[in-house]
Amino acid sequence: MMEINEMTAEECSLFLERASLGRLGCSHENQPYIVPVRFAANSGYIYVFSTFGQKVKWMRSNPKVCLETMK
């Protein structure tokens, strides 16, 4: 059985600052798009390194995105 524990804001920030690889999820006109990305987190901001392409266009048209990473 899997146990899920909620992280505090500080724990979440520290976790993201140690991670560097994740999956970025976005959507456009009900079409999902998930892509692996390198990122950095610092002072409450997440920076994703990318060239211009579909994900950038989709994020500009719909800024509701998610980032998944794991230990």
Per-residue pLDDT, averaged over 5-17, amounts to 93
| Domain spans of the chain, in order of start | 9-68
- pLDDT of 71 above 80: no
**CA–CA separation, 50 and 12 (whole Å):** 23
**Can you identify the CATH homologous superfamily of domain 9-68?**
Electron Transport, Fmn-binding Protein; Chain A (2.30.110.10)
Give the list of residues 6+ apart from residue 56 with CB closer than 8 angstroms, or none.
50
Q: What is the DSSP letter of 56?
A: H
In tens, the pLDDT along 15-64 reads: 999 999 999 999 999 899 999 999 999 988 999 887 778 888 888 999 99
What H or E segment, with its residue span, contains residue 59? helix 54-61
